[in-house]
Structures are given as structure tokens and as C-alpha cells.
Amino acid sequence: MRKILLKDVRMLTMRENEAVCRGALLIEGDKIAALGPDVQAEADEVIQGRGMAAMPGLVNAHQHSPMSLLRAFSLDLKLMDWLSRKMLPAEARMTPEDIYWGSMLAMAEMIRSGTTAFADMYIHMNEIAAAVERSGMRASLTRGLVFLEDDGGRRMREALDLADRWHGAAGGRITAMFGPHAPFTCPPEPLREVIRLAAERNLPIHIHLAETKEEAAKIQATYNRTPAEYLFDNGLFEHSHVLLAHGVHLSGGDIALLKGMRGGVAHNPVSNLQLGCGIAPVTELKRQGIAVGLGTDGAGSAPNLDLFQEIKVAAWLQKWVCEDPTVMPAGEALRMATIGSARLLRLDQEIGTLEAGKQADIILIDLDKPHLQPIHDLESLIAYGATGADVDTVIVGGRLLMRNRRLLTIDEEELMKQISARAKRIVEGV
């Protein structure tokens, strides 16, 4: 069994109320074997961590990875215009091969900025799964299900195929969810069928919720319910672990309905700001005991996938909304992007904190930079000062995906050639 020793490193474990410690971390195979100030061991590879901080890899709780091909293509538009005039026509031109390379571009960016796991919802999921397998990342994959027209059950067959073929694949790095797209695209009957299948197979559900005021108005006009009430009344929360993306426009009554749910809300602050959707009531959700993680959404609405940016924006927005600088302190913001997001992916028993027995999904941050010196409070320094460009090394399941800022599982030169030609064709004339 291969062993890697991270030596003389500052460790942020992301466990509640656990102080930063300095010492070593031993990886055996795909798991963390030991960590602490007194750890010493022989290893196949020793990584000198002096000047580095080790922490769990970041977890992106909501993504549409192939949309990296549409980065900054249609910004400064309202969401429905953005979607109907630009995104949907461009996405209709994407081939399965485009999907593969677009998701690979997103994974290269995520690895480079310290993300080791993500939740994705899109189409052509076999291609995305193949890219995950090749990249070495960890992912929870969802075939988005829209039921606004009769497609002969094709989308449902693809969702079932994804679960059958990929759940538990790539050494357990790939898991599957069921993905009814959103309340306004899923009428009651097909929504209840997806809920039934998810419960039958014990798979989580990933769904957009209350992203815009327009969505809330549409559901109210059609069903005389808020989006959250609509999902609740159709039984979404009875048996399943649920990942709710966005949750921007939630009333006090909505939050009361979500209290006690399995799963939680993926907060996407940068995308929500870019599209003018609003600010999710994160502080109140957390006050009611509802788990909250962080996501970027797709690069079509959030021009980069750097979760360190989301950490800053999430914390600053809640401080501003509450007019209280003590709200969402640094450690809490960092935990949202690690163990908080891992909980939403139903992977918190495997990843999200540094502790013996968990998967070795670890990043090293280079602190020997002017903007990260001096070091007074490491959590505050990383939460408010670090960027994805400060990540030096990325490990997933004990495998090095990046070392000294060099990707080891993705050929960047070939990737850039593929992206340049494909992106130009997809958007031409749209």
C-alpha cells in the first residue's frame, strides 16, 4: 500500500472547535492514516509542507460543468433572457464530445483552485462521468430532468442508466443522484415518480429551488403554493436526502418546512449576484439547523469556479445583510465549503474534514506569499485572503492530481486546443 507523508505542515482539520495544529499527516492508500504533531513514519513519498497549510479539499455543491464552454458568453442579462436567448440555443449545439471537453475544462479549473469533489447536473452524463474518471476527481452526478414536453421517457431512462452504470464507479469516487430540474419544470406526476425511484434506490435528489422571484410567482400562479410548499406537498422530503440548489427566495414558512430535512441548501452567492437573483437567507437557514454548503453554479453565470471566491462573498453578504460583522466568521465559512458541502452530497462520512479513516482528499495552500503574510489567524487568512491560485498541491483518494501547480491527470495543452475550436463553433451566431 502506497504511503505519502505530508511533513511539517499547518493543518486546518475543519472539525468543529479544533485548533490549527502543526505536524505531519500520513496517507496510506486512499485514506488518512494518522495526523498530528507527533506523527512520524516511513513513506514512499514525502512532501515537505513547510510554509504550507493543509486542509480538506473544497467541495462544490452545485455545478453545471460543461457550461465552462460558455464562460462570460452572456452576462449582464436577466436570468430568463440569459437562459432563453443565449444558454439554451448554445447548449442545443453541444455534442457529447463537447460535453466531455467542457466538463474536463471545469475539472482542470476546479483542481487548480482546490476543489476535489463536486455535484453536477446536466445532460450526456456518461461523458461527464468519463471525464471525472480520467481526472481523478470525486463527483456526485445528476441527469437533469425537465418534464415540460413528452420525450417518450428518454430523460428518465438516461437518469436510470446513470445510476446503474456509474453509482459507486471509479473506485467509489463517482456517485449518482436523481435530478428533477426545478419545481417549475416538473409537474406533480413525474415529480412524484422521481421521488419514488429515489427512495426505492436510496439515492439522493438534486433540484433547483426558489432561485428567482419569477419562479416563485409562476409556482404561486399555477399551484397556489410557494416552490418549497409545492415540493413539500408532493413528498420530496419524506424519505430522501435532498440537495436544494440556491434557495434564494424562501419565506419563514418555507424554512420551517425545511427544518429537519435530510440534506440541505447549496448556496451559490456569486452566480446569484451576477444574475441579480438576490441573497439567500443563509444565516436563518443555519439558525434553524438546516445544512448549508457552497457551490459556484455553472461558469455560464459565475465566470470562474474558484470556491475561495464563494467563501469570501458568502461571508461578506451575510455580514452585510445582518449588519453584523460577527455573523458567519471565517471558520464557519470554510466549513460550508468543506464538511458543509460534503454533507449535502451525502459524503460527510468520507470527506470534508481531516481525520484518520477518512478519504485522503487534501489540498496544500502555499502561504509564502506577500498577501498571506504574516500569519496571525490562519482561518481568517485563508477565508478572506487566499485564492484558488494559492493552491499548490491537490490529492484525491491518496492520488496526486496537482503538484507544484502542475496538473498530473489532465493534459492542459490538448485541453486548450479542444476548447478553442469547440467553443467558437457552439456560440457562433447565437
Name the residue type at position 348: D
CATH number, domain of 251, equals: 3.20.20.140
> Could you tell me if 46 and 122 lie in one domain?
no
Neighbours of 167 (CB within 10 A): 17
Region 314-327 average pLDDT: 98
Tell whether 297 is covered by a domain: yes
What whole-number percentage of the chain has pLDDT above 70?
100
Mean pLDDT, the chain, integer: 96
Tell whether 18 is covered by a domain: yes
Coil vs helix vs strand at 25: strand
CATH number, domain of 27, equals: 2.30.40.10
Q: Which one of 344, 370, 398 terminates a domain?
A: 344
> Could you tell me if 199 and 73 lie in one domain?
yes
Taking the C-alpha atoms of residue 417 and residue 35, their distance in angstroms, rounded to an integer, is 41
> Could you tell me if 399 and 318 lie in one domain?
no
Q: Which one of 313, 344, 375 terminates a domain?
A: 344
Which DSSP string corresponds to 158-193? HHHHHHHHHTTTGGGTEEEEEEE--GGG--HHHHHH
- Kindly give the interhelix angle for 307-322 and 378-385, rounded to the nearest 10 degrees: 100
Taking the C-alpha atoms of residue 378 and residue 55, their distance in angstroms, rounded to an integer, is 11
Least confident window among 97-101, 302-306, 317-321, 381-385: 302-306
Look at residue 240 in the predicted model and tell me its pLDDT.
Answer: 95
Residue 189 CB contacts under 8 Å (≥ 6 apart), including other chains: none
Which DSSP string corresponds to 255-275? HHHHTT-SEEEEE-HHHHHHT
> Could you tell me if 183 and 209 lie in one domain?
yes
For the chain, the domain total comes to 2
> Could you tell me if 340 and 225 lie in one domain?
yes
| pLDDT confidence tier of residue 410, bands split at 50, 70 and 90 | very high
Phi and psi (nearest 5°) for 365? -105, 130
pLDDT tens-digit map of 350-405:
999 999 999 999 999 999 999 999 999 999 999 999 999 999 999 999 999 999 99
Taking the C-alpha atoms of residue 312 and residue 386, their distance in angstroms, rounded to an integer, is 9
Taking the C-alpha atoms of residue 283 and residue 266, their distance in angstroms, rounded to an integer, is 13
Name the residue type at position 126: N
pTM of the model: 0.97
| pLDDT confidence tier of residue 301, bands split at 50, 70 and 90 | confident
> Could you tell me if 339 and 365 lie in one domain?
no
Q: Which one of 319, 344, 369 terminates a domain?
A: 344
> Could you tell me if 47 and 121 lie in one domain?
no
Tell whether 422 is covered by a domain: no
Residue 48 has pLDDT above 80, yes or no: yes
Tell whether 400 is covered by a domain: yes
Residue 53 has pLDDT above 90, yes or no: yes
> Could you tell me if 220 and 369 lie in one domain?
no
Least Cα distance to 115 among 330, 301, 361, 385 occurs for 361
What is the Cα gyration radius of the chain? Answer: 21
> Could you tell me if 316 and 387 lie in one domain?
no
Residue 85 has pLDDT above 90, yes or no: no
Tell whether 160 is covered by a domain: yes
Region 144-164 average pLDDT: 93
Tell whether 413 is covered by a domain: no
Which DSSP string corresponds to 94-153? --HHHHHHHHHHHHHHHHHTTEEEEEEEES-HHHHHHHHHHHT-EEEEEEEE--SS--TT
pLDDT tens-digit map of 219-228:
999 999 999 9
Look at residue 218 in the predicted model and tell me its pLDDT.
Answer: 95
Residue 306 has pLDDT above 80, yes or no: yes
Look at residue 76 in the predicted model and tell me its pLDDT.
Answer: 85
Residue given cell 513513506 in the structure block: 43
Taking the C-alpha atoms of residue 263 and residue 340, their distance in angstroms, rounded to an integer, is 10
Domain that holds residue 252: 58-344
Coil vs helix vs strand at 18: coil
- Strands 362-366 and 115-122, by their bridges, are unpaired
pLDDT tens-digit map of 271-298:
999 999 999 999 999 999 999 999 999 9
> Could you tell me if 7 and 133 lie in one domain?
no
Least Cα distance to 249 among 222, 229, 224 occurs for 229
| Residue 210 and residue 246 in contact, taking contact as beta carbons nearer than 8 Å | yes
What whole-number percentage of the chain has pLDDT above 90?
91
Residue 79 has pLDDT above 80, yes or no: no
| pLDDT confidence tier of residue 87, bands split at 50, 70 and 90 | confident
Q: Environment class of residue 400 by beta-carbon count within 10 Å: exposed (0-12), middle (13-18) or buried (19+)?
A: middle
> Could you tell me if 304 and 371 lie in one domain?
no
Nine-digit cell string for 365: 495552500
| Residue 79 and residue 212 in contact, taking contact as beta carbons nearer than 8 Å | yes
Tell whether 254 is covered by a domain: yes
10: part of which helix (H) or strand (E)?
strand 3-11
Tell whether 379 is covered by a domain: yes
Residue 164 CB contacts under 8 Å (≥ 6 apart), including other chains: none
> Could you tell me if 270 and 240 lie in one domain?
yes
